Amino acid sequence: MCGIGCCLSSSVDVANKWAESMKRALSSRGPDFLATSQVLAGHLKFSAAVLHLRGRDMARQPVCDAAGNVLLWNGEIFGGIAVEESESDTNVLAGLLRSAVTKSEVLSIIERADGPFGFIFWHSLTSTLFFGRDKFGRRSLLVNVQAADTAEFVLCSAAPESRTSSPVEWEEVRMGGIFTLSLRSAGEPGAAFR
């Protein structure tokens, strides 16, 4: 089972701290590959630990493309989207999402995936963060929103340590839903938090 996580903060320093905490929490979830990526000048960080189970070649995550899209996928596609035995479902899904231009196209692609999953997807063209879990909630995806001095939004499949001495409360993202966080109206990185 892969480990995935992302954090969005008005402070790049805070985002960096969350990213390091997520990497520590996720490192045991996937021993084959561990990496972090960023968009929005470092305000939005993505971390993933990969356990290679499917396909000939391992899908290194976060999967980033030339358009600035980022996919984190913890799951398996059993139907709805054609995945050959020799292919990675992560790479197949990333390829389909690469062609999506609108939010509704992204939703249509993800809704077709049948199987256990939790995912996070940054769609650069619409400045939208998509995230969710399958209808049975077979893959964990936790959410935490901090409203302290720096606004923070964190998603992770394994609860990372708090970046402060204050305890952090995590909740499972509701199963069977695809949720969005639009940053289009933010104007500049971090503006959505002011």
Query: Active-site residue numbers?
Result: 2
Query: Three-state SS for 162?
Result: coil
Q: Count Cβ neighbours within 10 Å for each residue of 109-119 and write b for 16 or more, e otherwise.
A: bbeebebbbbb
Structure tokens at 74: 């913890």
Give the largest CA-CA distance in the chain: 48
Contacts of 74 (CB under 8 A, 6+ apart): 1, 2, 3, 4, 117, 118, 119, 139, 141, 157
CA dihedral 114, 159, 38, 35 (to 10 degrees): -80
* Cis peptide bond N-terminal to 62, omega within 30: yes
Structure tokens at 176: 């069977």
Do 150 and 14 meet the contact criterion of CB atoms below 8 Å apart? yes
